[in-house]
Amino acid sequence: MSDQAFVTLATNDNYAKGAMVLGQSLRNHNTTRKLVALVGPHVAEPSRDALCSIFDEVLVVDVMDSGDVVHLALMKRPDLGVTITKLHCWTLTHYSKCVFMDADTLVLSNIDELFEREELSAAPDPGWPDCFNSGVFVFRPSKEMHDKLLKFCGEHGSFDGGDQGVLNSFFNTWATADISKHLPFIYNLSSIAIYSYLPAFKQYGHDAKVVHFLGKVKPWNYSYDTQKGEVKGHSLSHDSSQMHPDYLLMWWQLYTKSVLPLLQHTYRDTPF
Amino acid sequence: MSDQAFVTLATNDNYAKGAMVLGQSLRNHNTTRKLVALVGPHVAEPSRDALCSIFDEVLVVDVMDSGDVVHLALMKRPDLGVTITKLHCWTLTHYSKCVFMDADTLVLSNIDELFEREELSAAPDPGWPDCFNSGVFVFRPSKEMHDKLLKFCGEHGSFDGGDQGVLNSFFNTWATADISKHLPFIYNLSSIAIYSYLPAFKQYGHDAKVVHFLGKVKPWNYSYDTQKGEVKGHSLSHDSSQMHPDYLLMWWQLYTKSVLPLLQHTYRDTPF
Ligand SMILES: O=c1ccn([C@@H]2O[C@H](COP(=O)(O)OP(=O)(O)O)[C@@H](O)[C@H]2O)c(=O)[nH]1
Ligand SMILES: O=c1ccn([C@@H]2O[C@H](COP(=O)(O)OP(=O)(O)O)[C@@H](O)[C@H]2O)c(=O)[nH]1
Ligand SMILES: [Mn+2]
Ligand SMILES: [Mn+2]
């Protein structure tokens, strides 16, 4: 399936670490699709090199170098820089269908079946469930759609200041039109949901396919004690650790085992 | 439309206050449907009388007096008493279609259009959005369905200990089968959602039709300063009060204006 791809985005070296873990988790679960990382111009060379060894394509996206539509949108809404970079995924027209995944997601099993879905398919957001969460979505690259989205972005802005607001305003029939465009929540399980309705997590959580570390604090903001195999500063109480698998620990184990060696190689043993 | 009804439930005098406010809010928005309150045997006579002056029917439901299926279910799951009482709404077969509403909901506009929906229609739960919230749902009374639900209840119990767990396990294709059974979230807006994704609330909240005071603390657990027109012990900061209407205040205003006089009458001026 060389015309279908998983796509992620990293505009800095921290999100690049997330992208590496995500890419590696897709590889570990034997995806048959291509892996594409869009990187901003501020991602350092060694990070790009490490990404190159996991992803099939690493494309540097400099929105400043983009065409007129992008410029116009950026001039009207300078605050939407990262969002406009994310929308760039629609320009990947050498693929017929793609699944975008935030760099703060982690794949727990093969999810290639997502390519059976149509644009725009996404899972509900646990905060306001008539909105979809834009951390995982199925789309069809198209120059026309990219132009439309940027135009919309420039004219209407984003109600939440990010891509989720823009995409929900643009694809505004998601909640009411077509159930097949509702991805099951287990394809974009955010840790917030675990605590807000724990009995449901206990009932359905064991089928989780994608975990999303949504919110301010990301896995790479913690540190890890390699000796003890413990995430530092993460106070998972005994009680709650019995109740659900520690996704944060899984992220760090993958990072330590598969990503750190790559980075140590590309940065020539500079410590992290 | 005398064969369609809004139905609520109160097993004690506190929830009965909620039911009165709900019923009055439906009346204030000129519903053309019947109003039915199911009350448990522990609801005091004066509360029932006050309910009678708002609702078309007030039915005392004593699950202990119910038939064999109920007994069997209760014997297997004695913890599910209130849940089994709620399921009793399916026995209202003199109505062709009903909308169940929790006693802790408040209606902000006419919602009679809900009767165009089929069983089982409900809005997503903000905690785990592939579950529906069972605070507002459309159903068709049916003796057969009632038996099936009780049987299910006795055999499988409830993953969350309440009716929401039972109903979601029973109507287990809600998330994937039919978008028309997804009520818009504004028909069951819980205050939790306001804070978890405030930009979405600012964008979509002004269309709210039903507010749900979901969770441990209910409107009747606060008190109200009639002189100042303020809810006591409710620390709505200046900032957040500018951002969203104070639903709690609306509840208390309705209670003070329309419900308290009824209760003062039926309790013959016993102070509350
Ligand atoms: O400074 C940033 C912020 C975001 N992103 C990308 O945009 C996505 C969405 O942002 P984030 O995950 O931080 O938002 P959340 O999911 O917490 O709402 C990230 O996963 C990255 O792929 C990025 O590359 N650089
Ligand atoms: O002791 C109780 C508990 C619940 N209920 C009824 O069951 C509904 C669901 O319970 P609740 O609203 O407390 O649950 P929540 O919506 O907070 O999950 C209530 O609104 C009432 O109609 C009741 O009558 N007595
Ligand atoms: Mn994210
Ligand atoms: Mn409730």
pLDDT of residue B92: 98
pLDDT of residue B212: 97
Binned at pLDDT 50, 70 and 90, residue A269 comes out as: low
Q: What is the DSSP string of A89-131?
A: GGG-TTSSEEEEE-TTEEE-S--GGGGGSPSSEEEEPSSSTTS
pLDDT of residue B86: 94
Residue B250 sits at φ, ψ, to 5 deg, of -60, -40
Q: Does B178 touch chain A (CB under 8 A)?
A: yes
- CA dihedral (A106, A8, A165, A141) positive or negative: negative
pLDDT of residue A46: 96
| pLDDT above 60 for B239 | no
Q: What percent helix, strand, coil does chain B show, rounded to 5?
A: 50, 20, 35
Residue B210 sits at φ, ψ, to 5 deg, of -135, 130
> What's the CA gap between B128 and A186, in Å, rounded?
10
Cα A114 to the chain's mean position, in Å? Answer: 14
Binned at pLDDT 50, 70 and 90, residue B39 comes out as: very high
Q: CA distances (Å), A204 to each of A107, A199, B120, B125, B132, in order? A: 17, 9, 21, 14, 14
pLDDT one-digit tens code per residue, A51-81: 999 999 999 998 777 778 888 887 887 778 8
pLDDT of residue A75: 81
pLDDT one-digit tens code per residue, B132-168: 999 999 999 999 999 999 999 999 999 999 999 999 9
pLDDT of residue A238: 46
Judge: B192–A197 Cβ closer than 8 Å, yes or no.
Answer: no
pLDDT one-digit tens code per residue, A218-248: 999 999 998 999 998 766 554 454 456 699 9
Place of tokens 């590496």: A20
Nearest CA in chain A to B158: A199
Judge: B160–A200 Cβ closer than 8 Å, yes or no.
Answer: yes
> What's the CA gap between B12 and B220, in Å, rounded?
12
pLDDT of residue A83: 87
| Pair B197, B238: CB distance under 8 Å | no
B9 pocket-lining for ligand 2 (C-beta < 6 Å) = yes
| pLDDT above 90 for A268 | no
**pLDDT-wise least confident of A75-89, B47-61, B125-139, B141-155:** A75-89
Binned at pLDDT 50, 70 and 90, residue B238 comes out as: very low
pLDDT of residue A233: 74
pLDDT one-digit tens code per residue, A177-233: 999 999 999 999 998 888 889 999 999 999 999 999 999 899 999 999 989 999 987
| E-only strand ranges, chain B | 4-10, 34-39, 57-60, 97-101, 105-107, 121-124, 132-139, 189-190, 210-212, 223-225, 230-232
- CA dihedral (A226, A228, A230, A231) positive or negative: negative
| pLDDT above 50 for A117 | yes
| pLDDT above 70 for A125 | yes
Cβ-proximal residues to B256 (8 Å cutoff; 6+ apart), any chain: B224, B226
> What's the CA gap between A23 and A53, in Å, rounded?
10
pLDDT of residue B72: 80
Q: Is the complex ipTM more than 0.85?
A: yes
Q: How far is the centre of ligand 2, averaged over its atoms, from the C-alpha of B69 (Å)?
A: 23
Collapse the DSSP code of B57 into the 3-class scheme (helix H, G, I; strand E, B; otherwise coil) and give the result.
strand
Region B67-73: mean pLDDT is 80
Q: Return the residue whose CA atom lies nearest to atom 9 of ligand 2.
A: B102
Q: Does A182 touch chain B (CB under 8 A)?
A: yes
Question: How many separate helices (H) and strands (E) can be counted in chain B?
Answer: 11, 11
| pLDDT above 50 for A160 | yes
